Amino acid sequence: MARIEVVMPQMGESIAEGTIVKWLKQPGDAVKQDETLLEISTDKVDSEIPSPASGILVEIVVKEQATVPVQTVIAYLETDAAKAVPVMEGPGATSPTGAGVQSSGAGAGSAQASGTPATVAQSPGAGAGRAQAPGASAASVQSPEARDAGSARPAGTDATTAGQGTATTGVAGKGRFYSPLVLSIARTEGVQMDELERILGTGDGGRVTKKDILGYVQARKSGTLAPPPRPVQPASAPQPPGPQAKTVPVRSQGDQVIPMTNVQQKMAQHMVNSIHTSPHVAAIHEVDMTVVAKHRAAHAAVFERSEGFKLTYTPYIIDAVVRAIKKYPLINSSVEGTTIVRKSAINIGMAVASENGLIVPVIKHAEEKSLLGIARAVHDLAERTRGRKLTPDDIQGGTFTLSNYGVFGTVFGTPIISQPQIAILGTGAIVKRPVVVNDAIAIRSIAYFTLSFDHRVVDGMLGGMFMDAIVKNLEGFDAESEIK
């Protein structure tokens, strides 16, 4: 007797929206409580979302690849088998037992009358307000009555509005704004949303102007319009962000069309956004890593036996960075409008390449950690990144980022800042080189480190002094120290 809304769950405090990667069930499919219903992607973490209740998936409101705000209704479950179409054999309507599932019946009376009281943890009736599944691991559900009874919901995000669901979702997925006039013309001229999304926009930020859509309508009427490329993905699939989204694709036979994954799209957006936001300046310093290299070599074997993983250069570098930030704390800032926010915690993001794309998990409160503590945190995050076990909070809150492209043999690079941070350290490969030491040529382990910094906040002097502090921390590393 219960039709249950499945909503986009809130996967972490600062997550505002999520993308549906894949529906594992289709309308008509039976689903058990806690069985995986769909996969979603928020920012950089993909999550499997368990069904909030047992029943039958009767309607998918938000299609794959669409991005919607959290709490948007994305599907409906019917826990009463008799009401679900098609009718499923067996008792599809086992009583949902999870907290946070609320009956959509008019109240306790009708729910009980059906013999399948849908409300267990919540008090019956519409007055109970919003029901939510505990924790971030289950999709939250709420009954229509609960919503109607006045539970707060972000305005304009209700994708269930009849006839507008697809359109709303498409716009949200594309992030492209259409003016009231353009939408009016589209309706009058019968221009579908997927057509609209293909029109080249000449307005601000690629916006489709009145002229653009009238030109399109004219071309369509006169037959001069090239047939639209058959989309490989559903029409609502977001185009890749950035300026290339506006160019008309030219394809040769045999070309492969590869839709970007959500993580790839997010990365692309972040990169373009960062370059447009921060004037990047790079300061490149040479670092003599000989002392660190010797220290690492001397401790590697014992360390691996006691800790169970290999000792890398990364903890040494992070330790040196954290000490340099303590000396020059302005580096550990972000820009908010016309203010600079100097962060008290030093949270070091470290770029990790994974088959899922580039991911930057964050070592929280690195300033409170010893070299050993940092090494453990680095290992833990790297492992969980590759095992796709990160939580959304693992990738948030970074205040400074380290990118070790040296592992790929890169000698030096110019990394892009991870917004809203203002600096990123790139570390090149450590290579033995002949260098001058005390007026004699010596063979030392040399690396080139690059600090890309945001010149709105950091000038060349601060950038250089900060880098110099990192270099001194590494070159002056106490070779006799123990790892603890």
Partner 1 sequence: MATMTYIEALARGMWEEMERDPSVFLIGEDIGAYGGAFKATKGFLEHFGEERVIDSTLSEAAIVGASVGAALLGMRPVAEMQFADFVTCGFNQLVVNAAKTHYRWHLPVPMVVRLPTGGYIHGGPYHSESPEAWFFHVPGLKIVAPSTPHDAKGLMKAAIRDNNPVIFLEFKYLDRRMKGDVPEEDYTVPIGKGVVRREGSDLAVLTYGSTVHFALDAAERLSKQEGIEASIVDLRSLAPLDKELIRDVVRQTGKALVVHEDHLTGGVGAEIAAWITEDSFQALDAPVRRIGAADVPIPFAPPLEEVVLPTTAGIFKAMHDLARY
> Which residues are marked as active site?
455, 459
Instruction: Give 441's contacts (C-beta < 8 A, 6+ positions apart).
Output: 434, 435
Site for partner 1 contains 203 (CB under 8 A)? yes
Helix, strand or coil, per DSSP, at residue 481: coil
Site for partner 1 contains 181 (CB under 8 A)? yes
Instruction: Give 459's contacts (C-beta < 8 A, 6+ positions apart).
Output: none
Site for partner 1 contains 206 (CB under 8 A)? no
Residue (123 or 184) nearer to partner 1, CB: 184
User: Which part of the chain contacts partner 1 (CB under 8 A), choosing from 71-79, 120-128, 207-215, 449-457?
Assistant: 207-215
Nearest to residue 2, comparing CAs of 64, 70, 82, 73?
82
381 near 363, Cβ under 8 Å?
yes
Rounded distance, CA 247 to CA 256, Å? 17
Residue (85 or 181) nearer to partner 1, CB: 181
Site for partner 1 contains 209 (CB under 8 A)? yes
- Across-strand partners of 442? 435
Helix, strand or coil, per DSSP, at residue 436: strand
- Report DSSP state, residue 247: S
Of 58, 182, 366, 474, the one binding partner 1 (CB under 8 A) is 182
Restricting to residues 445-474, name those near partner 1 by CB under 8 A: none
Site for partner 1 contains 204 (CB under 8 A)? yes
DSSP labels, 367-431 = GG--HHHHHHHHHHHHHHHHTT---GGGGS--SEEEE-GGGGT-----PPP-TTBSEEEEE---E
Question: How many chain residues bind partner 1 (CB under 8 A)?
Answer: 11
Site for partner 1 contains 210 (CB under 8 A)? yes
Site for partner 1 contains 184 (CB under 8 A)? yes
Site for partner 1 contains 200 (CB under 8 A)? no
Least distance in angstroms from the C-beta of 218 to partner 1: 15
Of 120, 121, 183, 271, the one binding partner 1 (CB under 8 A) is 183
Instruction: Give 206's contacts (C-beta < 8 A, 6+ positions apart).
Output: 176, 245, 246
Site for partner 1 contains 156 (CB under 8 A)? no
Least distance in angstroms from the C-beta of 179 to partner 1: 5
Residue (86 or 205) nearer to partner 1, CB: 205
User: Which part of the chain contacts partner 1 (CB under 8 A), choosing from 179-187, 267-275, 382-390, 424-432?
Assistant: 179-187
Least distance in angstroms from the C-beta of 169 to partner 1: 21
Rounded distance, CA 307 to CA 278, Å? 40
User: Which residues of the chain form contacts with partner 1 (CB under 8 A)?
Assistant: 179-184, 203-204, 207, 209-210
